[in-house]
Structure 1
Amino acid sequence: MRIVCAPDSFKESMTAVEAAAALARGIRRVDPSIECELVPMADGGEGTTEALVAALHGEFVEADCHDALNRPITGRFGFVPRSRLAVIEVAETAGLAQIDPPERDPWAATSRGVGELIRTALDRGATEFIIGLGGSATNDAGTGMLTALGARFLDRGGLPIADGARGLNSLVSVDLGALDDRLQSVTFRIANDVSNPLLGHNGASAVYGPQKGATPRDVLALDAAVARWAEVVESAFARQVRDIPGSGAAGGLGAAFAAATNATMESGVELVRDAVGLQARIAGADWVFTGEGGIDKQTAFGKTPWGVAQAARAEGVPTILFGGRISDDAYELIGDAVVAVVPILRRVTDLPTALRAGSMNLERAAETITRLLTARPPGS
């Protein structure tokens, strides 16, 4: 028997790598001869770099850079030398989770660190990039990122504008003379599961600004500031980007990539699926085990477990979903792709305890399911 273990991370409990290992331990408790294929997965958000580095036998590279509040930090990205692929999560440097709630300020937050990681990866010889846009603290439409890569955003007096969205109101022109010309000769694939445009009631500021600290009044002002950015930047790059689906992701970073590079916007789980060769690794398997921290009806809309199940379905392999939290509507996922949805909790407990015990709970759940799959009728 061969079982493919292809989970996403269980947020705040296990990385995808740890979850895949826990599934495999549970399976081997039943029968050490069962072949386990470990394929940690992600959908472009947290854990994408780790999943791809593990699956593609890459390495982590550390670099000096800055966080969203312009504080010096050591960031990291994934690098696969044989394919010269760099994997960068925006949240690594410009992440909302790195900023304490009282300090969150969408006017000040900068995407500078993202550009610094890209520059370091270019220096290392990267020719292909996968960028995960999830979890940003910024609303600067990528000005920080592009500034780190050589662009100059200038005010009426020809001076650089202030960092963050605060400077966008004074933006008059963009000097692209020193923009890193390597950006035009490499490939950017953007892992992005949102379709929001840059501006308006479905745009970057309105939809994502509040979670980054924006008040209702801020949202209107931020949208106006980003609109000014669009007017100036679209002219500078001779590209219309404001209405591209996904241009509003990560505080407008989607629009910045569309303006300055040949970036393609792709479904995060499909991008990771293709990058790790999931389809080929599932072919010929008997079962696929996947899952993440929470499973509900929305899992079918671009989440990792559903993407894995669809890949398995194409190969005629049944899938079982494991989750720490299973909503009542999660059982609607059961059909020709998913044959079971399995909660991993073994007893009623509080959330901190459940998170700490996540690895053991997942291991035991995988063990139980494997016993059922391999059981023989009495006397057979």
Structure 2
Amino acid sequence: MMQILIAPDKFRGSLEAAEVCHAVEEGILFAYPDARIIAIPLADGGEGTTKILTDKSGGKYISAEVHDPLGRLMNASYGLSGDGKTAFIEMASASGLKLLSAHEYNPRLTNTFGTGQLILDAIEKGVGKIILGIGGSATTDGGIGMAAALGYHFLDENGKILIPIGESLSKINSIDYQNADTRLLSVSITVACDVTNPLFGLNGAAHIYGPQKGADPDMVKELDRGLQNLTKVAKKAFGKDVSDVPGAGAAGGLGAGCLWFLNAELKEGVGIVMEQTNIAQHIQDSALVITGEGKVDEQTLSGKVVKGLADLCGSYDIPLAVVCGTLMITPEETRSAGITYAVSVLNRPMDLDSAQNNAYTLVKDATFNLVRLFFCNK
């Protein structure tokens, strides 16, 4: 009996990763009823990561009252592993763009304080390890909001404590860490990060991601100068410049903030999820791996679920098939990425609403056809 591993990301706007698994499984069994199927939903460190890791560990969800990106009280949740030793937190649940209306987007005024509150709550639960996903932020505060929730103070030239928001970055003259929570020293924090941008500069947090959070050109320049200033002050306080570490610019500079204020480790999000789900062993035991996501493009080939799986499958010489909503890479790119077969699920002209509403059936049908191709004699 042939084993087929299903390991997709979500199809944003239409199917969660677990739903993609179900659709793919239906397509496989229709084409190859005797297949042995292993289904493992994946994520790249962004939305959905907490659920996948919490469920995989047999854990539970914890709710905590925190402040949203604009300082309003709300309830946010995070995952706690079955053994109670690891917390799985998504910064977007407390500091995400999804929590704001479009007219509220303003990275000068938003901050990551709520994310720090979730970290604090997890520490108070006695965890020894935190896995923090930092995708989907509404912020460009360099992590100072998060740090403030954990006891750090950011002072201006007169020694006055600044409100830890984006517009304060350029005013920071010193960092007071005397009241920082000492329990941070005994907690291992791994940050799931799916981008490699530096903290500042034309490829940095403000210039690349600021506009989608509501920053106009002048605000982008202001925030970029602020992140440069934070780097200067933090380097003096902590003795290290992390601004060029790949991922430092993730989530509005929260990547760098985690390195400075939490002594965290930045890792590729998909790598963390694959490690936690023991995906490598399942790949070795499979005849075919099927993955997918809503759009496969050049960004997919640099740190997303599909690329992570392609690398692993290549190391074990196991074929990888990709089903997706939109296929935007060339045959040459497909081959060089280590993808055996890639197909869009769109089998006829249709608008976006129709594609999203029919995504489950489209994924199932595309999977049927690709499995027949791989196992036509079965």
* Shorter-chain TM-score range: over 0.9
Matches for 1:55-94 after TM superposition, within 5 Å: 55-82=56-83, 84-94=85-95
Name the SS of the counterpart of 1:24 in structure 2. Answer: helix
- CA separation in 1, counterparts of 2:79 and 2:246? 27
Q: Which runs of 5+ in 2 are unaligned?
A: none
User: Is residue 330 of structure 2 the alignment partner of residue 329 of structure 1?
Assistant: yes
Displacement after TM superposition at 1:331 (Å): 6.1
Name the SS of the counterpart of 1:42 in structure 2. Answer: coil
Is the contact made by 1:297 and 1:333 (CA closer than 8 Å) also made in structure 2? no
Q: 1:186/1:319 Cα in 2 relative to 1: closer, same or farther (>3 Å)?
A: same
Partner AA of 1:10 in structure 2? F
Displacement after TM superposition at 1:328 (Å): 5.3
Aligned to 2:246: 245
- CA separation in 2, counterparts of 1:152 and 1:271? 31
Write the deviation string for residues 12-41 of structure 1: whole angstroms up to 9, x where unpaired.
111112211221122223444421111111
Aligned to 1:122: 123
- CA separation in 2, counterparts of 1:319 and 1:204? 33
- CA separation in 2, counterparts of 1:256 and 1:84? 24
- CA separation in 1, counterparts of 2:336 and 2:219? 45
Q: 1:21/1:67 Cα in 2 relative to 1: closer, same or farther (>3 Å)?
A: same
- CA separation in 1, counterparts of 2:339 and 2:230? 45
Name the SS of the counterpart of 1:109 in structure 2. Answer: coil
RMSD: 2.1
Q: Which runs of 5+ in 1 are unaligned?
A: none
- CA separation in 2, counterparts of 1:224 and 1:314? 43
User: Is residue 125 of structure 2 the alignment partner of residue 113 of structure 1?
Assistant: no
Matches for 1:1-380 after TM superposition, within 5 Å: 1-82=2-83, 84-327=85-328, 329=330, 332-334=333-335, 337-376=338-377
Partner AA of 1:246 in structure 2? G
Write the deviation string for residues 64-112 of structure 1: whole angstroms up to 9, x where unpaired.
1122112222212122132722222222221123322221101101101
Q: 1:222/1:163 Cα in 2 relative to 1: closer, same or farther (>3 Å)?
A: same
Name the SS of the counterpart of 1:77 in structure 2. Answer: strand
Q: 1:330/1:41 Cα in 2 relative to 1: closer, same or farther (>3 Å)?
A: farther
Deviating more after overlay: 313-322 vs 31-40: 31-40
Is the contact made by 2:54 and 2:60 (CA closer than 8 Å) also made in structure 1? yes
Displacement after TM superposition at 1:203 (Å): 2.1
- CA separation in 1, counterparts of 2:166 and 2:358? 41
Displacement after TM superposition at 1:146 (Å): 0.6
Identity of aligned residues (%): 36
Name the SS of the counterpart of 1:135 in structure 2. Answer: coil
Is the contact made by 1:6 and 1:41 (CA closer than 8 Å) also made in structure 2? yes
Q: 1:53/1:121 Cα in 2 relative to 1: closer, same or farther (>3 Å)?
A: same
Partner AA of 2:219 in structure 1? D
Give me the TM-score of the superposition, normalised by structure 1: 0.92
Write the deviation string for residues 105-137 of structure 1: whole angstroms up to 9, x where unpaired.
011011011101111111222211222222211
Displacement after TM superposition at 1:157 (Å): 4.5
Partner AA of 2:66 in structure 1? C
- CA separation in 2, counterparts of 1:60 and 1:20? 22
Is the contact made by 2:58 and 2:82 (CA closer than 8 Å) also made in structure 1? no
Is the contact made by 1:208 and 1:251 (CA closer than 8 Å) also made in structure 2? yes
- CA separation in 1, counterparts of 2:161 and 2:351? 51
Deviating more after overlay: 266-275 vs 249-258: 266-275
